[in-house]
A and B are shown apart, each in its own frame.
Chain A
Amino acid sequence: MQLGHDKVTCKQVQVRCRYLNQILLVLFVLLLTVDVQADDYLDSLEAEVGKVENHSFDDSVEPKAEPNAEDEVLLRHEFEQHLSQKNKGSYTLYKKLPERSRQEVYEEFTQGASMSQIRRMIVDRILQR
């Protein structure tokens, strides 16, 4: 009885092993497919970016309409206009600053200072801190 049971168990194990092998095989193929899909997507992207090189957006644009901002560096009068529009109070104080301080504030802005830092800087300069 015990022997028979053992035989059945072995058979069951064999059957299970066969299914397990198949399942593992399917999983492996699926994983490969996902990987291949990801690679395919990257390959397609790389192929597309080559097309941008060939049909460059900038090539077809007249220089006067060139939207690329290589030379679009902020000028001081534009900064002052920006300040007067966005922070009228700070602008009023800014106008009272000596030329050197104004230049410093402008340079700080072009280097990436936030508006709150700019406002603080103006007040500091006014209070001579």
Chain B
Amino acid sequence: MIGSFTRWTCIGLSLMFFFVPAMAEDEVKIAETGYFVPLSKDKPYIHVIHEGRSVKVQRVQDPDYQLQGYFAKTARKCPPFCIQEISPALGVDVVGEVELFDFMEVELRDGKGVLIDARTPSWYKKATIPGASNYPFTLLSKDPEDPEMEEVLEKFGARLREDSGFFNELMEKWGFVDTTHKTEKWDFTGAKTLVLWCNGPACGQSPRAIKGLLATGYPADKIKYYRGGMQMWQLWGLTTVTPK
């Protein structure tokens, strides 16, 4: 037993010696160039599929670049454009750019997540975050019984629950069957993770959409809120795309 442990420790240490210099070399490479601004500490850039083509998401490399125009504004009329709470609802995680990059690279590409631009189409048409789909808050805050809302939920991977039978109902009632992600009408077990965003911390469009989704029973742990939105995205000089 001890011999086996020692052997595995040796293998582990050898692997560390093999890989650690390689990682350090990568880090030095970025630092050596001097001018390259990566997305985050370990991501120079990422590739995201937008409208069927791969788009490289990166930061503006010009060190003198300054944000100008609409998203550089510090104040807008409040109400309606008031600073929003950190989280729009209990149980909904708030994510920043780094978490969003991870989401775009993994869940979004693998079809297990949807990046939702919750703004009205006129905003979406101006520019959006690569990989985002436009589901305006006006749609996502519709009545849970509305056919359009039901169609959207099905697109997100929710399933309308059919009559599961007396026995199953009993099992659910007694707690033998997991009902964590189920409502009377919907089964959200296979539903995708959604990341919603809009114009930034002073934008109420995605919080409204999130509240609309929660009203249908969409599980809060499958909804994330990118509060920074377009304003922070552009402030960091990140790539945007103009939908066709």
Are A67 and B49 CB-contacts (below 8 A) given A45-B205, A55-B69?
no
Are A109 and B54 CB-contacts (below 8 A) given A42-B120, A49-B120?
yes
Does B80 lie within 8 Å of A40, measured CB to CB? yes
Contacts of A73 in B (CB 8 A): 53-56
Chain A residue at minimum C-beta to C-beta distance from B198: A45
Does B239 lie within 8 Å of A68, measured CB to CB? yes
| Stretch with Cβ within 8 A of A (4 or more), from B70-78, B83-91, B186-194 | B70-78
Q: Which of B61, B81, B123 contacts A44 (CB 8 A)?
A: B81
A114: interface (CB < 8 Å) = yes
| A-contact 0/1 string along B62-105, CB 8 Å cutoff | 10010111110000110011000000000000000000000000
A61: interface (CB < 8 Å) = yes
Does B80 lie within 8 Å of A44, measured CB to CB? yes
In the complex, what distance in Å separates the CA atom of A61 from the CA atom of B70?
13
Interface size on B (CB < 8 Å)?
A: 44
In the complex, what distance in Å separates the CA atom of A109 from the CA atom of B127?
24
B122: interface (CB < 8 Å) = yes
In the complex, what distance in Å separates the CA atom of A44 from the CA atom of B76?
11
* Interchain nearest-CB distance for A120 vs B (Å): 13
B47: interface (CB < 8 Å) = yes
Contacts of A72 in B (CB 8 A): 55-56, 58, 239
* Residues from 51 to 108 in A contacting B, C-beta threshold 8 Å: 51-53, 55-62, 64-65, 67-70, 72-74, 78-79, 82
Does A57 lie within 8 Å of B123, measured CB to CB? no
Q: Which of B47, B122, B123, B238 contacts A67 (CB 8 A)?
A: B238
A115: interface (CB < 8 Å) = yes
Contacts of A28 in B (CB 8 A): none
Does B120 lie within 8 Å of A57, measured CB to CB? no
Chain B residue at minimum C-beta to C-beta distance from A44: B80
B178: interface (CB < 8 Å) = no
A116: interface (CB < 8 Å) = yes
The interface centre, meaning the residue of B53, B54, B239 with most chain A CB atoms within 10 A of its CB, is: B54
* Residues from 117 to 156 in B contacting A, C-beta threshold 8 Å: 119-120, 122-123, 126-127, 130, 138
Contacts of B242 in A (CB 8 A): 68, 70
A112: interface (CB < 8 Å) = yes
Contacts of B61 in A (CB 8 A): 65
Are A48 and B76 CB-contacts (below 8 A) given A60-B69, A67-B237, A114-B110?
yes
B220: interface (CB < 8 Å) = no
Contacts of A40 in B (CB 8 A): 80
A6: interface (CB < 8 Å) = no
* Interchain nearest-CB distance for A67 vs B (Å): 5
Contacts of A55 in B (CB 8 A): 68-70
Does B239 lie within 8 Å of A62, measured CB to CB? no
Chain B residue at minimum C-beta to C-beta distance from A118: B109
Chain A residue at minimum C-beta to C-beta distance from B204: A41
* Interchain nearest-CB distance for B155 vs A (Å): 17
Q: Which of B56, B70, B110, B237 contacts A52 (CB 8 A)?
A: B70
Contacts of B60 in A (CB 8 A): 61, 65, 67
Q: Interface residues, chain A, CB within 8 Å of chain B?
A: 40-42, 44-46, 48-49, 51-53, 55-62, 64-65, 67-70, 72-74, 78-79, 82, 109-112, 114-116
List 9 A–B pairs whose Cβ atoms lie within 8 Å, in order of A's numbering: A44-B81, A57-B234, A58-B127, A65-B62, A68-B239, A74-B55, A74-B56, A109-B54, A114-B109
